[in-house]
Chain A
Amino acid sequence: MNHENTDGKSTDTDKTDVLINTTVSDYDTEGLAIKEEGLREGKIFPGLDADYPLRDPSEDPRWAVRTVKIWMWITIFCIVGILVLMILGIWYD
């Protein structure tokens, strides 16, 4: 989804776009090889002319999303806790 082109000049870089916009899994050795070859040949410098690669939320690895969500809430909770302590510190010094 969301592959609309913002600068409208990518017809001849279609292959490159595909390479950039696909997240190659760490275990997909073939994909990695293609991507690396592209990088080495200097054909792609990821992102220079590429689309902004938003994708469907379901395409994200679930473990990653969960980890980050949990961690984010822990962090927010801790920040709020610290702020409360610091405000209490005005009276209880």
Chain B
Amino acid sequence: MAAIVNHRTSTAGSGLSLAAPAIVLAVVLGCIPLAFVVVYSLLTPASFGGVEWVASANAYRSLLFRKDLFSEELVFSPDHLMIFGRSVLLALATTVLCFAVGFPTAAYMASRSPRARKWWVLAITIPFWTSLLVRTLALMLIIGDQGLINGLLIRSGLINAPVAMLYTDFAVLLGLLYSFLPFMVLPLLSSLEKLDPRLLEAGADLYASRWRIALQIVLPNIRPGIAAGCLLVFVPALGSYVVPLILGGGRSMMAGDLIALQFGTSRNWPLGSAESVVLVLFVALAFALSNLVRRRAA
């Protein structure tokens, strides 16, 4: 998807005039809210939510330090780092997992006839006709202690007590994989469709096994699709909120939970904003990385 957008803008000769609506949209929907967040992160929290218009860098300071209750001294506190670190790790793991599952899927789809391929794309996207919440709850029913899988395993006599799957990192990862897989598969498929099949034959002709054809010819030539897919999975996974909350049972806090917490129960909007800014920086980093990959591929 991102690859297509990219393609469009780069081929549009009279770039600016054609891109104008998109630019307006990006400013209104992207930059202005982001500016609000940045401004809020530099203000002082009001006691019942909202902000007081007094400038302060306290929010950023409290990302790394907390005030000692007695001495009022600033003490280093790794809580934020750990939560962000865990979120980044989880998002990375989701991305890797989505690629590991998505690449063979996309490769299989690309090898079908164009008609069959349309059905596959439909099958991949059908779950998205329902809301994320419903899908996540459905997954809960499947992997819960009384869920489908444990039920089947117990009835077949393979185990006698349910295997704990729900409310584990495994459950979160599974939920994220399920949620974001299409964002990986579709850009990969679009890149694979553009790959000249004769390159694969040339590989076989030059003594490459199927495995080496995949690694040494296919992968290097679909780098734009890989970059787009990884970005499309990593970014929403990093900020994901519903899935870790429901499937992880709120046991381990994620960046998304943390931010929601500041705007809700904690009523510390500046801190929530500062946390959001950090998250946005991570996303910007991911964009820069994926652009680098795409540039090298071009």
Bound pair: A and B? no
Interface residues of A (CB under 8 A from B): none
